[in-house]
Structure 1
Amino acid sequence: MPAYADVLLVRHGESEANAAGRFACRTWDPPLTASGSLEAERLARQLLNAPVRYIVTSPLLRARQTIAPLARILHIDPVVLEDLAEVDLGQWDGHRLKDLENANSPAFQAWRQDPESNPPPGGESIMTVGQRVLTALSQFLQTCEPSTLTVAATHADCIKGALLVILDAHGPAARHIWVPNTGQLLLRWFDNGRWVLIFSPLCNAREEGCDLD
């Protein structure tokens, strides 16, 4: 059996962009809100007893802030992987979602229906995002000890895209995937390049009486 390594994909906590209903990718790098910071602390408590060996993160601030409490208590230095960054939204970057909806733009409506066939103007398709995320993780895992767990802080469309690529699904299927803030997806990577989904009670939550210092 080929060697393997597990990866827990984690979406960042609530950011100022989430709270404002705005897209944020390349031109705006908002921090977490107060609620997002609490979500990050809660995530650290949930994963306190998980066998985490490595931590990687998107370069964007909201992802780095989300993983910081866990990195602190586990004494693991996060590795920044540029290709875990949010989907490139092209001309829509920084715009309010409601404004794009109210404009009745055919391009926006088409993207909502099928983000693979109709990427944002000047932006990325959902499967492109998923493939770059999986490629970056594969390259990182090749340098890691086998049978270990890596936590990867990233973004909702990165997780959706990775899932679609693994399942060889169609673009419109993205509309049926919801990744909440600090939502998690556990994957297993084999050194022959194969990815699988894992349904596992990974987290051992300790919500009370837990010292995170």
Structure 2
Amino acid sequence: MTVIALGVPMRLLLIRHGQTAANLAGALDTAAPGMPLTEAGHRQAGELVGVLRDERIGAVFVSPLTRARQTAEPLAAALGARPRVRTGLRELEAGVWECSTAPDDVSRYAAVASAWASGRPEVPMPGAGDGTEFLGRFDAVVAEAAACGAEVAALVTHGTAVRIWSAARAANVCLGFVLENEVPNTGVVVVEGTPVTGWRVLSWAGQEVGERTASALVLG
């Protein structure tokens, strides 16, 4: 396989896993192995194959958590690809708030994650790591995908991970935008660029994303 240089732009498909019972309960489910997909989640994973049928996907990377691996299975099978399991794609660990459904705990978790996206990666997640660790491990998988020889790589991961990495690394997406725009189950965020030149979000869960303006980032 010919390796594409890190300076040549490529597309990343950042895909959130399908529905789980924890999603329905609003629980912070971030520890391994995590909950499996619901029946609806399995349907969503199957439908993802059709959603991405026009993408020239050359590699599939996946979080080791159960829900992500189950989501990736139909896509990888349709492509005849072997999923590359990477711990760097795991969700932001909730630490002391793991499994909580309390609104205050969810808000505290979101506040720490938001600090990482806004340039303060040193803020710790109580009982877990910090933003330097999270961004470093996610960046490492992105760099591997950029160097693997594929024009398009699918990264099956988690909602908060996609939002925080995008806000921290994409030039045209800010924290306010990702706070206002969740990634639904099996939603796809399309990113283009390289680890050298940087990244730009092209679309967010099916909606085209425009350039950053003086006041806000606009959806096309």
User: With structure 2 as the length reference, what TM-score do the two structures score?
Assistant: 0.75
SS of alignment partner, residue 198 of structure 1? strand
Q: Partner of 1:149 in structure 2?
A: 152
From the superposition, tell whether residues 3 and 88 of structure 1 become closer, same or farther in structure 2 (CA, over 3 Å): same
Match of residue 198, structure 1, among 199, 202, 215:
202
Q: Which amino acid aligns with 1:190?
A: T
Query: 2:62–2:84: 8 Å Cα contact kept in structure 1?
Result: yes
Which letter maps to 1:90? G
Q: Percent identity?
A: 24
Task: Tell me the residue number matched to 1:115.
Answer: 113
Paired position in structure 1 for 2:28: 23
Shift of 1:172: 6.1
Partner residue of 2:193? 189
Please give the secondary structure, in 1, of the residue aligned with 2:27: coil
User: In the alignment, what sits opposite 1:51?
Assistant: 56
Change beyond 3 A, Cα 1:22–1:200: closer
CA distance in 1, matches of 2:111, 2:33: 25
Match of 1:163 in 2: 166
CA contact (8 A) 2:29 2:98 kept: yes
Q: Structure 1 CA distance, aligned partners of 2:59 and 2:97?
A: 34
Are 1:179 and 2:177 matched, yes or no? no
Q: What is the CA distance between 1:201 and its match in structure 2? A: 11
Size of the aligned set, in residue pairs, is 193
Asked whether the 8 Å contact 2:94–2:109 carries over to 1, the reply is no
Shift of 1:43: 0.5
Higher relative contact order (CA 8 A, sep 6+): 1
Determine the structure 1 residue equivalent to 2:145. 140
Residues 93, 47 of structure 1: alpha-carbon distance in 2 compared, 3 angstrom cutoff: same
The question of 1:62 aligning with 2:67 is answered yes
Indicate conservation of the 8 Å contact 2:95/2:127, yes or no.
yes
Which shifted more, 172-181 or 37-46? 172-181
SS at match of 1:158: helix
CA RMSD of aligned residues (A): 2.9
In the TM superposition, residue 191 of structure 1 has moved relative to its aligned partner by 5.5
Distance 1:56 1:164, change over 3 A: same
**Match in the other structure for 1:76:** 81
When structure 1 is superposed on structure 2, of 44-53 and 161-170 the one drifting more is 161-170
- Cα separation, 1, equivalents of 2:174 and 2:205: 28
- Structure 1 distance, partners of 2:138, 2:201, is 15
Aligned partner letter, 2:87:
E
For structure 1, list consecutive stretches of 5 or more residues without a partner in the other structure.
203-213
Alpha-carbon shift at residue 131 of structure 1 (Å): 4.7
Q: Which amino acid aligns with 2:193?
A: W
Give, as a single letter, the amino acid of the residue that structure 2 aligns with 1:162: W
Q: Distance in 2 between matches of 1:53 and 1:94?
A: 35
Q: Which amino acid aligns with 1:72?
A: A
TM-aligned CA deviation for residue 174 of structure 1? 4.4
Moved more, 8-17 or 124-133: 124-133
Q: Name the amino acid aligned to 1:73.
A: A
- Unmatched segments (≥5 aa) in structure 2: 116-122, 207-220
**Alpha-carbon offset, residue 111 of structure 1:** 4.3
> Are 1:37 and 1:66, in contact at CA under 8 Å, matched by a contact in 2?
yes
After superposition, the Cα gap between the structure-2 partners of 1:55 and 1:74, relative to the gap in structure 1 and judged at 3 Å, is: same
Structure ID, larger Rg: 1
Higher strand proportion (structure 1 or 2): 2
